[in-house]
Chains A and B, each alone.
Chain A
Amino acid sequence: MKILVIEDEPQMMGLITQFLTEENYIVEGAHGYEAGLDKIVTYDYDCILLDIMLPDGNGLTILKKLKELGKSDSVIIISAKDSIDDKVKGLDLGADDYLAKPFHIAELNARIKSVLRRKNNSGSILVEVNNIKINIEERSVHIDDQSVDLNRKEFDILVFLALNKNRIAGKSAIAENIWGDNIDRVNDFDFIYSQIKNLRKKLISHNAGVDLVSIYGIGYKLITK
């Protein structure tokens, strides 16, 4: 899978590149509007991460150009300004998702995976980790073909952690993904523990091939056994 990152901030670019490379994607970087435009005209990508606030141009123009070229690359817009206008414009122009800076890299990872999954196997949206099968559309989970009853939050946590398997998902990233952005107002994210504890019990009782481990002070990780 090939991913293009159009981002002018070197630190951010480095972080995303490192993370996605570790996820076994092929990652290309473009540090500005012109470079990004060159890349999309010349090559095809499975997914493009597009920062729309570029020093030498507006990322939305790249998106327009991409659609004019009739390319089917998935696009996730990254915007520094938390602005509804940009979001609406971007999605209208055919972007697949929108992520406001600053974001958790685990959140970006989950978004990329969802976008790619939608693009590649249209119809059945399935996440598989060892003996667990998660159907995101039907919101059902099967372990060894046996259905598992999860509440809404447990299900969302499982999906989020499964999309970030073997990686640490920060407490705040989990909380914001499942409880919504507004939960970032709370002063202590440890409240997610009770849902994780219940989820973990259910996974163990169904002999799932994964476990949820707590990483002290940071967050949780879904590991494959």
Chain B
Amino acid sequence: MKLINHTLLFLSGILLLSICLWGIFFYYQVLNQVRNTIDEGMANYKIVLIDKLRTDTLISERKVFRESNYIIRQIDEDIALNVRDTYRDTLIFSELKNENYQARLLTTAFLGAGNKYYELKVISHEFDRGYLIRKIASTLLWFFLFLIISTVVVNNFVLKKTWRPFYRLLGYLNRFQLDKGVTYEPETTKISEFSLLNESVKNLIKTNIDIYDSQKQFIENASHELQTPLAIGINKLELLAGENDLQQVHIEKIGNVIEILQRLSSLNKSLLLLSKIENRQFIDREIVCFGEIISSIVGDFSDYSEYMRINVRYKQEGSWCHSMNPDLARILVMNLLNNAMFHNRKDGEIDIMLSASFFKIDNTSDSPELSPDRLFRRFSGSNKNSGSSGLGLAIVKAIADFSGLRVTYSFNGKHVFSISI
């Protein structure tokens, strides 16, 4: 829920509640006032009436209100002496309307001529509480609506303007990606909280980008520094293996160590390449045509695929050229092809299909469908000990991301990797 709507809902809830409470209070106030006024009127009327009646020697009893608004009946003295003036609400049946209506009723007693006691009941004009409630409620409802509308207007015009720096910051944070590293330039605001927030976010982001960059740089430097010692190690072992007085078993052991170092070296090379891509060191772009690249790489790898007993078929249905770094384009195709061979089986197949806007590489394999989420992550491969660097597809993904390409994986009995725009 948006902040503005939340405020609005909250405000309207409070408004509604307070207006309801206030309405009830107001209703009782008005009701009291109206009653008092009516009762006073009735009291005055009673005085006038009694004044007139007191001197009447013959007071005729009146049983029904009819045209006048009082009734009189004679009562015993002891009852009369106990009568106090009482006001209450009552229902009067109107023959005219043929229904009951609400009114106030004053009951009193007086001593008329001839020492006779009378009970006098005076009724007021119609006094409808329901009508009062409806009237008050509808007035308050309109008032409430008016308040809500004003709140919406205030929210939209005032709050939106006030909160603008906040929404701008929010939009930026939402789009923020650490590896893209766009620094934040907040708009200046007079509101000190927002200004502080902007400043804090700016510093936070800057610190994080710096740390991220130095980490990336560290990985690149570390793998770069590792390269030469590794190569020296391998070369020295090869020299050692060439010495004459070694026995076969020693040479084999040296061979094993060399193999391990070579794997380490190739892992390191991949790591270096990956950090170079991430550190944007392949910025030169030109129009690269995948048709030529694929056929040249298929040619380069033909001995390897023959040795692995994999049948590589290449079908070119169209020609696709894309603006990207040519070295990365080659590495992309090579890594995909190498991946397709490495995870293939003996006497397996690889089908490469190039069209005018994409290419795809299908390979047979003994492994089941893979999870596309994990596939392109570093070192997520299942077989750690088989000589795979675990970085091949991570490099593919990094190149695709960097070059504005999309890499997708699907499974239809074969593993299918496709590259498209």
Co-assembled chains A and B:
yes
- A binding-site residues for B, Cβ under 8 Å: 9, 11-12, 15, 18-19, 22, 80, 101-106, 153, 167-168, 170, 172, 179-180, 182-188, 190-195, 215-219, 221
B228:A186 contact, CB within 8 angstroms: no
CB < 8 Å neighbour of B342 from A179, A180, A187, A192 = A187
Does B229 lie within 8 Å of A168, measured CB to CB? no
Q: Is there contact, CB below 8 Å, between B338 and A186?
A: yes
Whether A185 lies near B242 (C-beta < 8 A) is: no
Contact A102 B255 (CB under 8 A): no
Cα distance A168–B237 in the bound complex, in angstroms: 10
> Quick one: which of A11, A184, A186, A188 has the most chain B CB within 10 A?
A186
With CB as the reference atom, state the residue of chain B lying closest to A193. Answer: B307
B251 touches A216 (CB 8 A): yes
Interface contacts beyond A187-B389, A194-B307, A219-B238: sample of 17 additional A-B pairs, CB < 8 Å, sorted by A: A12-B232, A19-B239, A101-B228, A102-B230, A102-B231, A170-B238, A182-B297, A185-B266, A186-B341, A187-B338, A191-B303, A191-B308, A215-B241, A217-B254, A217-B258, A218-B251, A218-B255
B210 at the interface (CB under 8 A from A): no
Contacts of A103 in B (CB 8 A): 231
A216 and B255 contacting across the interface, CB-CB below 8 Å: yes
By a CB distance below 8 angstroms, the chain A residues around B28 are: none
Q: How far is the CA of A186 from the CA of B75 in the complex (A)?
A: 124
**B contact residues, total (Cβ < 8 Å):** 46
Q: Which residue of B lies closest to A101 (CB)?
A: B228
Sample of 10 A–B contacts (CB below 8 Å): A9-B228, A102-B230, A104-B235, A167-B242, A182-B297, A182-B300, A187-B342, A191-B308, A194-B303, A218-B258
Measured between alpha carbons, how far is A76 from B261 in the docked complex, in Å? 26
Partner of B255, one of A9, A106, A186, A215: A215
| A11, B225: Cα distance in complex, Å | 13
With beta carbons under 8 angstroms apart, the residue of A101, A180, A187, A216 that contacts B387 is A187
Residue of B nearest to A217 (CB): B255
B136-151 Cβ-contact flags toward A at 8 Å (1 or 0): 0000000000000000
B153–chain A nearest beta-carbon distance, Å: 64
Instruction: State A215–B253 Cα separation when bound (angstroms).
Output: 11
> A218 to B238, Cβ gap below 8 A?
yes
- Counting from the closest, the 4 A-B pairs by CB-CB distance are A217-B255, A102-B231, A191-B307, A187-B387
Cβ < 8 Å to A, chain B residues 323-351: 330-331, 334-335, 338, 341-342
Q: How far is the CA of A9 from the CA of B306 in the complex (A)?
A: 41
Does B388 lie at the interface of the complex (its beta carbon under 8 Å from any beta carbon of A)?
Answer: yes
Interface centre among A104, A168, A219 (most CB of B within 10 A): A168
Which of B269, B307, B341 counts the most A-chain CB atoms under 10 A from its CB?
A: B307
Tell me the complex Cα distance, A54–B178, Å. Answer: 35
B251 touches A102 (CB 8 A): no
- B252 at the binding interface (Cβ < 8 Å): yes
| Minimal beta-carbon separation of A192 from chain B (angstroms) | 7
The residue in chain A whose Cβ has the minimal distance to the Cβ of B226 is: A102
Residue contact B232 to A153, C-beta cutoff 8 Å: no
| Also in contact, A105 and B239, with CB within 8 A (given A187-B338, A194-B306) | yes
Q: Mark B245-278, 1 if CB is under 8 A from A, else 0.
A: 0001001101110110010011001000000000
Task: Pick from B229, B234, B342: contact of A170, CB below 8 A.
Answer: B234
Across the interface, A192 reaches (CB within 8 A) one of B228, B239, B303, namely B303
Q: Which of A172, A195, A216, A221 has the most CB of B within 10 A?
A: A216
Residues of B212-247 whose CB lies within 8 A of A: 224, 227-232, 234-236, 238-239, 241-242
In the bound assembly, the distance between CA atoms of A193 and B242 in angstroms comes to 19
B304 at the interface (CB under 8 A from A): yes
Whether the Cβ atoms of A188 and B387 lie closer than 8 Å is yes
- Pick from A182, A190, A193, A218: contact of B241, CB under 8 Å: A218
Indicate if the CB atoms of B303 and A153 lie closer than 8 Å.
yes
B166 within 8 Å of A (CB atoms): no
Q: Separation in Å of the A208 CB from the closest CB of chain B?
A: 21
Query: B307 to A168, Cβ gap below 8 A?
Result: no
A154 CB to nearest B CB, Å: 11
Q: B251–A184 contact, CB under 8 A?
A: no
**Residue B184 CB within 8 A of the other chain:** no
How close is B216's CB to chain A, nearest CB, in angstroms? 17
Measured between alpha carbons, how far is A179 from B301 in the docked complex, in Å?
A: 8
